[in-house]
Amino acid sequence: MTHTDSETLGARTLRDIRRDFAAFATTGDDRPTAYLDSAATSQRPSAVLDAERDYLEHHLAAVHRGASAATGASTTLFEEARADVARFVGAGEREVVWSQNATDALNMVALGIADASAGIGGADAARFALRPGDEIVLTEAEHHANLLPWQRVAQRTGARIVPVRVDEHGRWTVDDVAALLTERTRIVAFPEVSNVTGQIAPVAEVAELAHRHGAFVVLDACQSVPHRHVDLAAYGVDFAAFSAHKMLGPNGIGVLYGREDLLDALPPARTGGSTITKVTLEEAHFLPAPHRFEAGTQPVSQAVGLGAAVRYLESIGMDAVAAHEESFAERVVDGLAAIPGIRIVGPQPGERRAGLVSVAVDGVHAHDVGQFLDDAGLVVRVGHHCAQPLHRALGITATTRASAHVYTTAEEADRFVAAMGEVRGFFGLGRKVS
């Protein structure tokens, strides 16, 4: 499969899309750096930067506080961004909570469940309570953000972590999950797309299985919402988290999705101003979702920027985005498969994967690979990618990851493959592959 800069993504060409990003402006005849680290953080188009700047220059005011016209206008923009995000992921507006980032959002769920297990939140929150011997099912492929919070919950409640093991390539299946579910299963948490392997999980199938056992489903959607059509309500998950900075949006803001009835019952992880209906010196009564979770001053300009990022992605079309990025992955995997000494992690050649590829190079540490690629003008991610248990299961310390977004080109994919063909020869471990 091939694609070019004149390829159409939705109603636009790839060349036109790249013009929206100042990061890809070229000067003279220099070949630009290839940015292949969008799974870590994405570049931002002018539409996002302009929206945030316009808010800061012309509409800056507190939200949900006071009765001034300025506050009302600022609040309107803030809540319009929430509506944009809700529409984008198939959620109701009351089901979208602003957080600092996806890690923060996952901690909000975990801490709320820990509080409910301690009796906080009353009868409504009792549905979340965990007891000694209850089980939290997680995959061995989790990002630490969807592992460490559950470890803490298990320590506080006496519940235990039950891992879904991966195979020699880092993959797991619905059957692997089904084999572990019992009457003690209370939470099933997993990524829709692994940030290391690029595996695309069958979310709705796993959610249905989990619900048959009465478990809550928590989805790490960080690597899916920015790159493919996601409908959280149709998936049937109970909670989900994703970050703006991976979807062409600002840093400093993420999203917690939760079913409306569950959010209204979950104890808020942080308390303070703007979350309450009544406060005495002895107790507080909290607002319904989403505001019960949004204590203190909110990231208003970031929310406005995220709303603009959503509209930008919608103008391209998420099916087009997914097809473009999966084409990148296919091109890279097929090229790397022909190079001796390179181990491809995750789905193998011919198998579907999202737009990221992680590899290990025989005899060369990922950090050295990354330095070689950096010298060749290729920006990638190296390390364990906040997934140490997965790398340990695969018997490797670290991997090198190349990842795509709407602006990534076929030429950049080919440059990455060609450079990888030179790595082992450069370090004296075999002939160079041209």
β-bridge mates for residue 239, sequence order = 218, 258
CB burial readout 62-86, b (16+ within 10 A) else e? bbbeeeeeeeeebbebbbebbebbb
Distance CA 206, CA 173 (A): 9
**Cβ proximity of 181 and 211 under 8 Å:** no
The phi, psi pair for 296, rounded to 5°, reads 80, -170
**Cβ proximity of 131 and 149 under 8 Å:** no
Sort 234 into a burial class: Cβ within 10 Å, 0-12 / 13-18 / 19+.
Answer: exposed
Task: Considering the candidates 376, 386, 418, 429, report the single residue annotated as catalytic.
Answer: 386
386 is catalytic: yes
Please compute Rg for the chain using Cα positions. 22
Angle at 235 between CA 174 and CA 156, to 5 degrees: 70
Please give the full DSSP string across 6-64, using - where no structure is assigned. Answer: T-EETTEEHHHHHHT-GGG---TTPPPPEE-BTTT-----HHHHHHHHHHHHHT---SS
Residue 94 has which token pair? 């009351």
Q: How many residues are given for the chain?
A: 434
- Residues with active-site annotation: 386
